[in-house]
Amino acid sequence: MRLLMALLGLTVLASACAPESIAGGTDQGQASGKGGAASGGAPGSGTGGSPAPAGSGGGPAATATGGASGASGTAGASTGGGPGGGRATGGSGLAGGSGVAGGPGAAGSAGARGTPAGGGGAGAALGGGGAGAAGSSGSAASGCAGKTYKLCEDFETGTAGGLPTGWTVYQGYGSGSAADAALATDQAHSGHMALKSNSASTGQRRVQHSLSALGATASKHWGRVFYKVQSPPPISSSNGVLHVTWVGLHGGNQENRVVDIVESNTRTHQWLYNNPDDKGSLGSAYSWSFDTAWHCAEWSVDVGTKSYRFFSDGAEVKSIGFTNKSDSEMVDYTAVIVGATFYQTPASSWIMWFDDLAIDDNQIGCQ
């Protein structure tokens, strides 16, 4: 009997000393590192993206712009700082609803670069080091607020489906329709609206804005526009090339096409300086293709010296630039024309958006 009681006592003692297991997987939202304890809310109730206090590694993380909040259980302790900060052994919590953007984490000591901070309710990133990258959601801040450009248009005034305030219809050689170029809310580079082109017919309508208020800047200026093409774009219905003009400068009976492309039947495209009669035209190699991102096109014109330069996403396309080109057919400009118009029939509607147009005396850049 004494022997039996002794054995039972050893069993109870062993059970009391057994360690409790910790779930550290990505579905539990717990971390087992040492440091201050972090706790989550009930499933689906997290705020997402909030920073943890400073830890032993990592600089401040850039502010995320939002994302899905993660519901978490009671979290273990973490040695890490904010997103992009120190090491934690716990994973991220369960995905919940949309969360509010978190602020930057407090600075820690320097280390190796951490993983980028994106949207969502994630656990601490592995590795100390530099700041995490900003979250990907939200629109860019390239609108006209606070800008002093000679002409700035962020397409935020007017009614969706109609013309932007201060713009009029530029009638193409086709019959056209109101939907050819109009304000839309389905895409925007900044703010809530952009100018949308949507047509499957040649010679469609575009929109134009007078440059009379710009004085000498009208004929000697830098211009910039952001654009996005619905991808994959259509190719020519004849399986040949598809020539599409995006931005033109108009004076008298002449239009100089300063943002202009030709798309091949493999959906690569070239940039052009072009005129309606094709005289003085120059084209680049077919080195570009379309994707779902916003891109930036810049041009520089000087009618007095018959000069032109073009930049794609900040890189100059020198093969289509020129100075003192006698056959450039440049004239003093009275209007800028924006919208997609093409000269061969596409297999389906060509759809794209324009936003954050600016004209100034100096190069504007793609900020």
Which pTM was predicted? 0.63
Mean pLDDT score, 132-157: 74
* Mean pLDDT comparison of 22-26, 28-32, 62-66, 213-217, highest-scoring range: 213-217
Closest of 307, 308, 290 to residue 299, by C-alpha: 308
CATH class of 151-360: mainly beta
Q: Rg (Cα) of the chain, in Å, rounded?
A: 29
* pLDDT value for 239: 83
* pLDDT value for 276: 96
CA distance 261 to 258: 10
Give the confidence band of 95 by pLDDT, cuts at 50, 70, 90.
very low
Triad 68, 70, 76: Cα angle to 5°: 150
Tokens of 86: 């120190």
Tokens of 340: 């997609």
Task: Label residue 122 exposed, middle or buried (CB < 10 Å: 0-12, 13-18, 19+).
Answer: buried
On whether the CB atoms of residues 276 and 331 are closer than 8 A, the answer is no
Tokens of 314: 């900040």
* pLDDT value for 141: 52
On whether the CB atoms of residues 315 and 267 are closer than 8 A, the answer is no
On whether the CB atoms of residues 198 and 229 are closer than 8 A, the answer is no
CB atoms within 10 A of CB 186: 10
Higher pLDDT pick, 22 / 257: 257
Domain map (residue ranges) of the chain: 30-135, 151-360
CA distance 328 to 272: 12
Tokens of 260: 């202009």
Give the confidence band of 176 by pLDDT, cuts at 50, 70, 90.
confident
Q: What share of the chain is helix, strand, coil (3-state, %, to 5)?
A: 10, 35, 60
Give one DSSP letter per residue of 68-132, joined into a string: EEEE--EEEEE---STT-S--S----EEEEEEPPPPPPPP----S--PPP-SS---PPSS--SPP
Provide the strand spans (E) within 230-332. 242-251, 254-263, 268-274, 282-283, 288-289, 295-302, 307-312, 315-316
**Burial code of 253-273, b = ≥16 C-beta within 10 A, e = fewer?**
ebbbbbbbbbbeeebebbbbb
Share above pLDDT 90 across residues of the chain, in percent, rounded to a whole number = 58
Provide the strand spans (E) within 142-267. 151-153, 168-170, 181-184, 194-199, 206-210, 220-229, 242-251, 254-263
* pLDDT value for 332: 98
Q: Which residue has the tokens 């004929």?
A: 219
CA distance 64 to 118: 6
Give the confidence band of 326 by pLDDT, cuts at 50, 70, 90.
very high
* pLDDT value for 353: 98
| Model confidence at 233: pLDDT above 60 | yes
* pLDDT value for 175: 77
Give the confidence band of 92 by pLDDT, cuts at 50, 70, 90.
very low
* pLDDT value for 97: 44
* pLDDT value for 85: 37
Mean pLDDT score, 260-278: 97
Terminal Cα distance for the chain, rounded? 86
Give one DSSP letter per residue of 324-345, joined into a string: S-TTS------EEEEEEEESS-
* pLDDT value for 357: 98
| Model confidence at 118: pLDDT above 70 | no
On whether the CB atoms of residues 329 and 279 are closer than 8 A, the answer is yes
Mean pLDDT score, 283-290: 97
Phi, psi of 12 (to 5 degrees): -65, -40
131 CB-side CA count, 13 A? 13
| Model confidence at 31: pLDDT above 60 | no
